[in-house]
Structures are given as C-alpha cells and as structure tokens.
Amino acid sequence: MAKKIYLASPHMSDEGYEMEYIKEAFDTNWISPLGKNITEFENEMVAQVGSKAAAALTTGTGAIHLALRSVGVGQGDVVFCPSLTFSATANPIIYQNGTPVFIDSDYETWNMCPKALEKAFIKYPKVKAVIVVHLYGLSADMDKIVGICNKHNVPLIEDAAESLGTYYKGKHTGTFGNYGVFSFNGNKIITTSGGGMLVSDNEEKIAKVRFWATQSRDSARHYQHSELGFNYRMSNVVAGIGRGQLKVLEQRVEKKKYIFDFYKRELGGLEGIRFMPSNEWNEPNYWLSCITVSGDVKPLDIMEALEKENIESRPIWKPLHMQPFFQEYDFIGEGVSEELFENGVCLPSDTKMSDVDLQRICYIIKGLWK
C-alpha cells in the first residue's frame, strides 16, 4: 500500500512547544479545567485575533451554543445560518429550541450571500441572530453582512472555526460580530485535539459564558446553581497544547498557502477546473484547497482515483437544507450552495505533505484528463 496522505491531520510543532506546557500542567498537578494554561491560552488568543475577551471551551460547537444562549435565542426564535457549512454550525440553534433558516452562498466568496440575506430579512423580519461562516478559511463579505445586521439591529455570530489566521481587510475573521467562534479540532489549522474558543469585545458577556461553561456554579461554600449550566470548560492540559500550537500558526498558514499555490500552478490549466475564489480584501488561511470541476471528469472520479492510491479527499460540504435532519426548515437562495456541493472537491491539504506528495497527487489528477 502506498504512503497514506491525509486531507488534514494534526501537526505538532517541531520545537516541542506543546510538551513544555503539558509538562508544566502535570508537574503542577493542574490538569483539570483550572490552571495557568487556560488563562494564558485565552490571553494569547485575544492578543492574536484582536478581541478583548475569550473563553476556552471543549468544542467550537459549544462556543456557538453559548453564543446563541448569550444573545437570547430561545423557543421558536429564527436564526439565519448558511446552508453550505458543517452541521455543527446549525445544531446549537436546535439545542436552544430555535428555528434555523438557511441562507444560500454566492460564487464570489462561497459564503453567505448578502443578497439572499436581505431577502431572508424581508420574509422573516423578526430574527434573533445571524450566524455567518468563513468557509475553508475564505472570508465572507463582512462589510455587507455586518451592514445588513446593523440595519436590522440583529446580533451577528461568526463561525470562524475554519478561518483562524484569515484576515478581512486587515482584520482577523471572528472579530466583526458580537461573538467569534474558533475550533481546534484535529483537522483544523492548529489543534488542541479537540476544543474551541469564544471571543468577544464584551468582557462581561464572556465572563457569563465562562460561568455557564462551568455548570453555572454560584459563588457559595456549598454547590448552588441558580441557572442551567454546561460542562464546556477546556482542560488545562488541552489548553497547553493550544498554547504551543498558537506559536506555529503563521507557519501553518504559510504552508497551507504554499499547498494551494502548488495545486493552482500544476492543475490550473486543466479544462473545467476552477479554484475556490480569492478577493482583494481577503487574506485566507487556505485551510483546505478546494476546486470545482465541470466537463467529462467528475468530482467522484477525482476522489476515487486518489482513494485508490491511499490519498484522502472530500466533497464540498453538503448543504444543510439538503440534509435529512434539516429538510423541514426554510432555505433562501437560488441553488448556488447545491451547485458547489455537486461540483466541488476538497484536495489533500495536510501541512506535513512534501513536494513529492503534492506531485504524486497532481500526477494522479492530471491522469484523468488524458
């Protein structure tokens, strides 16, 4: 069997930064959801992205959940959400007994279409929140989306799970809305094995999120709880991994961009291939290098050819309004997200790949055009 090439896998620092912080947690016996690593990871994330406060949590999904709770989403409340995203973006709306309404993408960004968002507000004038996603590390058109949300006085939550290290007009994604959400799952640009972060400029709200995330334990000698709580606080050991990973974020972004440029150079001349969009205001982290194909070669042809050689690839996210669980909910758009799903492929984007690995992938794909 040929060497396995992953779509995106954990990549620890060559310098061993992560082990230094993990060792400190073990040496001091602070391995539970308390300790220096948690506080410092939050502080370092705040410094990295330019927000005022952060809460380190067990998952990015949990961060979205508590953001929705913080803006008051409850029974029957409408929340606008992109259709072209992973289900974790929308699941927390259901946790809060809200009603998701799915918004289409546009070809210019692959993210939430501002025109479709405007149409959604006409159909649903009473909206509790908007969630926007920065898909595959590509920034959404934030000037337009923030403007629309401000016009309707609706809070904005940014799902930046895939876009740590991405900038929109020089400002980090995740810092335009009321809340920003980051994920440190194993396949993300940096990882803590699992984990997430909620950031905001509202320090009081973040303090409340930390309270909820630690089972809403009141300040009392005995265990007392006046509110519903959640077991969402990140552990000190996991936070140590995150602190080490954050030191190599720029290296990871640089390698992701190298991978994208390599594919574009080697495959860009093939008939029918188009790469995910870039805009002058967008500095992506290129988390995954994605293409669409048209013509005789189909996305499945590429994925199966790579799979035969022990190489991982994936389809573009299947839109949520096409998913069995979410089919009962409304969709506003013209089918752009469906077309991207039907024609899209996520190419291997693992930062541990060598040029030999990349040439091997390109050779297999090029062979389909002969």
What pLDDT digit, counting tens, does each position of 197-225 carry? 999 999 999 999 999 999 988 888 899 99
Q: Are 65 and 95 in contact (CB under 8 A)?
A: yes
**What number is the average pLDDT over the span 12-20?**
97
Q: Give the C-alpha separation, 286 to 293, whole Å.
A: 19
* Each residue's pLDDT tens digit, 242-293: 999 999 999 999 999 999 999 999 999 999 999 999 899 999 999 999 999 9
Give me the pLDDT at residue 64, please: 98
Q: Give the C-alpha separation, 200 to 232, whole Å.
A: 17
Domain ranges of the chain: 17-246, 249-367
Nearest to 198 by CA among 172, 179, 178: 179
Backbone angles phi, psi at 160, to 5 degrees: -100, 30
Give me the pLDDT at residue 219, please: 86
Question: What's the fold here for domain 249-367?
Answer: Aspartate Aminotransferase, domain 1 (3.90.1150)
Side chain identity at residue 264, one-letter code? K
**What number is the average pLDDT over the span 161-188?**
98
Q: Count CB-CB contacts under 10 A for residue 150.
A: 10
Record the tokens describing residue 306, joined without a space.
Answer: 């790579």
Give me the pLDDT at residue 27, please: 95
The answer, yes or no, to whether residue 33 has pLDDT greater than 80, is no
What is the pLDDT confidence band of residue 2, given thresholds at 50, 70 and 90?
Answer: confident
Q: Are 184 and 192 in contact (CB under 8 A)?
A: yes
Q: Give the C-alpha separation, 276 to 56, whole Å.
A: 31
C-alpha R_g of the chain = 21
pTM of the model: 0.97
**What number is the average pLDDT over the span 131-157?**
98
Give me the pLDDT at residue 168, please: 98
pLDDT: which is higher, 27 or 221: 27
**What number is the average pLDDT over the span 51-62?**
98
The answer, yes or no, to whether residue 1 has pLDDT greater than 80, is no
89: left (phi over 0), alpha (psi -120 to 50) or beta: alpha
Average pLDDT, the chain: 97
Record the tokens describing residue 14, joined without a space.
Answer: 């060559």
Task: Give Cβ neighbours of residue 344 (< 8 Å, ≥ 6 apart).
Answer: 290, 291, 292, 299, 315, 316
Q: Does domain 17-246 have CATH number 3.40.640.10?
A: yes
